Amino acid sequence: MDIATLASANPDHWKKAAAIRALALDGVAAANSGHTGMPIGMADVATVLFEKHLKFDAKNPDWPDRDRFILSAGHGSMLVYALLHLTGYEDMTLEQVKNFRQWGAITAGHPEFGHAKGVETTTGPLGQGIANSVGFAMAEESLRAHYGKKVIDHHTYVIAGDGCLMEGISQEAIALAGRQELSKLIVFWDNNNITIDGTVELSDRTDQVMRFKSAGWHVQDIDGHDAAAIDAAIVAAKKSGKPSMIACKTHIALGHAAQDTSKGHGALTDAAAMAEAKARYGWTTGPFEVPADIKSAWEAIGSRGNADFTAWQERFATVSGSKQAEFNRAFAGDAPKKLSATIKALKKSISEKAPSVATRKSSEMVLAAVNPICSETIGGSADLTGSNNTKTADLGVFDTDNRKGRYVYYGIREHGMAAAMNGMALHGGIRPYGGTFMCFTDYARPSMRLSALMGIPVTYVMTHDSIGLGEDGPTHQPVEHLAMLRATPNMHVFRPCDTVETAEAWELALSSKETPATLSLTRQNLPTLRTEHKTKNLTSQGAYVLADAEGKRQVILMATGSEVEIAMAARDILQAEGIGTRVVSMPCWELFAAQEESYRKRVLPGGPVRVAVEAGVQFGWDQWLSGERGKAAKAGFVGMEGFGASAPAEVLYEKFGITALAVADKAKSLL
Ligand SMILES: Cc1ncc(C[n+]2csc(CCOP(=O)(O)OP(=O)(O)O)c2C)c(N)n1
């Protein structure tokens, strides 16, 4: 259909969609950057979705049972900003739209969670949104099973582009959604055949319809500018018992001189071409001017869900008081009241029994105690359940016939798992954790970065955290991963040295509201070093004195995780020679850096020789060795200088020189 036919076929629809198109043109032109073509191309789909289907109330954007709308093709951010402004979200003023991409505005270059209401997740790294949506849909299924349909019963809608579907993460997401039969997940594919370099055929010949079908999806193929077809497709998608993909054949930058070209993907700022496009849309008002009748038609869409919202509040009020409290607590992200006492009791019994266990096992012991009191946890692993020790007896398996199950078999999909966990955390009411080998942090990394950027409390259970895993060899032995994670802003990296520190790290992870956590855990057994019970969570300070110097303090040994044991043995050697040696356990650098200077100074006073020991690369350690009152000439590091090797762990520690003797020698050489 040409534009004239489209406009005359359904003038009311056309005008509303034209408002999105005009705002996208104006916003991008004012910023002199951004992406105009995608919002123009998907304006019809978005208009039908918002007008006829999306359950939302612009005045109550945090309504827990709203439908979620995810713009996976985040470069088209003006689409969502236009929709939020038009439908009357209070924070999305015209000023904000005019300040698209400017300092201090909530209209960031790509949609960012936490900036504007109605932006459900941060997108822009292609593929992340569609992969988050799987977590959103799983959260909905889980919460519906737990609280009942009258409290939770909504859809997750996604707009994904060619780029999202080309990214590898989309395959992980699509396969997981298909397997889990997430029937309330509906994805619109913006099938415009254009990417930045040209047409899709330059690099891809996938039959997307077949691809989704083969993964167990319900698929439809429609003209993405035909309002009636869009509406009918959404109706059919909702009826299907499978996740749904609607392939929407669209024209990028419809009606603009750059239509159907890769030029149409980017910023269309040429004034004459903009004027021509607006004329084709029948848009006669000036920049950022939406005629009152069109704006009020959109605002009516924005308040369409208000009656539903009120009815939901009434239904929620009929739920038992304890369920309401649990729901409100889980959505607020507050830890259960019993968490602290549970952790303390576990610490006490561990300190008494002093078991020798791997910290991955310690983690399982903690989870066995906390999962029964935290109904909001959903655990999982990327096919390493028995190795990551992430599954506890009480959880049950989340599956098509058991939505109450709280353990997810993610399959060998680290990236998809991390993105799904982001989606669950963003949905609210769920606190996800999931495991893989520490080395495969690399495979999950783009989504881990987004957990940190968005400030959402996802917990990554990364086991087999060093050469200590032994025979599997250097492909599986992380050496640079701690440095990489510590370099990531707003990520708490915990490397606990025993079960007590592991319990403390979990307490912090489960209490966090705005910071994700990575737990770096061992495969090999470690002794309990914290044998004297302290109710205080020492890990919350990031680093603390585990054993102080006897006599004059000449050496400070710093270590994390499995190497704290080595530092303690080195201390024995040094003390036996009359060299007063303090051991500082540093389970979380980020929390230590956040302590007051006076505390840090007490733990790491200037003067003594400092030696750090960690079975990873030195990168980052200078912050504590020569920084923080240290001196380069009096500081040394014992750790890895390159990749590991295949051999039993004890042999590797010996061969790579990470031993108590080496640490003691290093300290003495610096005295
Ligand atoms: C992971 C990732 N790689 C690359 C980019 C840069 N990028 C932004 S949009 C885009 C092309 C996307 O094409 P498509 O999804 O078809 O969007 P359309 O051209 O339809 O707007 C690319 C490569 C990105 N945002 N994320």
**Alpha-carbon distance 237 to 244, whole Å?**
6
Tell me if 126 CB under 6 Å of ligand 1: yes
What atom in ligand 1 is closest to the CA of residue 128? 1
626: three-class secondary structure by DSSP: coil
Give the number of C-alpha atoms closer than 13 A to the C-alpha of residue 491, restricted to the C-beta side. Answer: 24
Give me the residues paired with residue 408 across strands. Answer: 380
What atom in ligand 1 is closest to the CA of residue 124? 25
Nearest to 454 by CA among 511, 516, 519, 505: 516
Tell me if 196 CB under 6 Å of ligand 1: yes
Token pair in block for residue 438: 């520490």
C-alpha dist (Å) from residue 170 to 240, 337, 394, 440, 519: 21, 38, 31, 18, 26
C-alpha dist (Å) from residue 555 to 72, 450, 546, 552, 585: 53, 40, 14, 9, 14
Token pair in block for residue 555: 């050496």
Sign, Cα dihedral of 283, 289, 295, 299: positive
CA of 161 to the centre of ligand 1 (A): 8
Residue type (1 letter), 146: H
C-alpha dist (Å) from residue 405 to 41, 297, 376, 432: 40, 43, 11, 13
The Cβ of residue 132 has, within 10 Å, a number of other Cβ atoms equal to 35
Structure confidence at residue 281 (pLDDT): 97
CA of 159 to the centre of ligand 1 (A): 13
CA of 252 to the centre of ligand 1 (A): 13
Residue type (1 letter), 266: G
Q: If you write DSSP's letter for every residue of 396-464 in order, what string do you get?
A: -B-BTTBTT--EEE--S-HHHHHHHHHHHHHHSS-EEEEEEEGGGHHHHHHHHHHHHHHT---EEEEES
Q: Using CA positions, which residue lies closest to atom 23 of ligand 1?
A: 196
Tell me if 192 CB under 6 Å of ligand 1: yes
Go through 254-285 and write b for each residue having 16 or more CB atoms within 10 A of its CB, e for each that does not.
bbbebbbebbbbbbbbeeeebeebbebbebee
What atom in ligand 1 is closest to the CA of residue 161? 15
Tell me if 38 CB under 6 Å of ligand 1: yes
Token pair in block for residue 63: 């309504």
CA of 659 to the centre of ligand 1 (A): 49
Tell me if 163 CB under 6 Å of ligand 1: yes
Tell me if 470 CB under 6 Å of ligand 1: no
Cβ-in-10-Å burial (0-12, 13-18, 19+) of 128 comes to: buried
Token pair in block for residue 173: 């997401």
Q: Which of 196, 202, 204 gets mutated to test ligand 1 (max ligand atoms within 8 A of its CB)?
A: 196
**Alpha-carbon distance 512 to 455, whole Å?**
10
Tell me if 264 CB under 6 Å of ligand 1: no
- Give the residue ranges of the chain where pLDDT is below 70: none
Task: Give the start-end residues of each E strand in 508-599.
Answer: 517-520, 525-526, 544-547, 553-559, 580-585
| Distance of alpha carbon 335 from the chain centroid | 19
The Cβ of residue 540 has, within 10 Å, a number of other Cβ atoms equal to 17
**Alpha-carbon distance 446 to 415, whole Å?**
8
Structure confidence at residue 2 (pLDDT): 86
Tell me if 162 CB under 6 Å of ligand 1: yes
Residues 6 or more apart whose Cβ sits within 8 Å of residue 651: none
Catalytic residue status for 514? no
Q: Using CA positions, which residue lies closest to atom 26 of ligand 1?
A: 125
pLDDT (tens digit per residue) in 258-285: 999 999 999 999 999 999 999 999 999 9
Token pair in block for residue 586: 């540093």
Give me the residues paired with residue 68 across strands. Answer: 156
H helix intervals, 88-218: 94-98, 128-147, 162-166, 168-179, 208-214
Token pair in block for residue 581: 């040696």
CA of 228 to the centre of ligand 1 (A): 28
CA of 275 to the centre of ligand 1 (A): 26
Tell me if 161 CB under 6 Å of ligand 1: yes
Tell me if 123 CB under 6 Å of ligand 1: no
Q: Using CA positions, which residue lies closest to atom 12 of ligand 1?
A: 163
Per the residue annotation, which of 51, 112, 140, 414 is the catalytic one? Answer: 414
C-alpha dist (Å) from residue 148 to 56, 319, 325: 19, 10, 15
Tell me if 39 CB under 6 Å of ligand 1: no
CA of 75 to the centre of ligand 1 (A): 7
**Alpha-carbon distance 195 to 58, whole Å?**
32
Structure confidence at residue 25 (pLDDT): 98
**Alpha-carbon distance 273 to 270, whole Å?**
5
Residue type (1 letter), 603: V
284: three-class secondary structure by DSSP: coil
What atom in ligand 1 is closest to the CA of residue 38? 21
Task: Annotate 541-554 with three-state secondary structure.
Answer: HCCEEEECCCCCEE
Residue 475 near residue 652, CB atoms below 8 Å? no
Sign, Cα dihedral of 57, 62, 66, 70: positive
Residue 544 near residue 585, CB atoms below 8 Å? yes
CA of 123 to the centre of ligand 1 (A): 11
Give me the residues paired with residue 358 across strands. Answer: 525
Statement: the pTM of the whole predicted model exceeds 0.95: yes
Tell me if 125 CB under 6 Å of ligand 1: yes
What atom in ligand 1 is closest to the CA of residue 196? 11
What atom in ligand 1 is closest to the CA of residue 76? 21
Token pair in block for residue 334: 């507050």
Q: Which of 195, 197, 259 gets mutated to test ligand 1 (max ligand atoms within 8 A of its CB)?
A: 195
CA of 196 to the centre of ligand 1 (A): 7
Nearest to 485 by CA among 515, 525, 507, 517: 517
The Cβ of residue 532 has, within 10 Å, a number of other Cβ atoms equal to 7
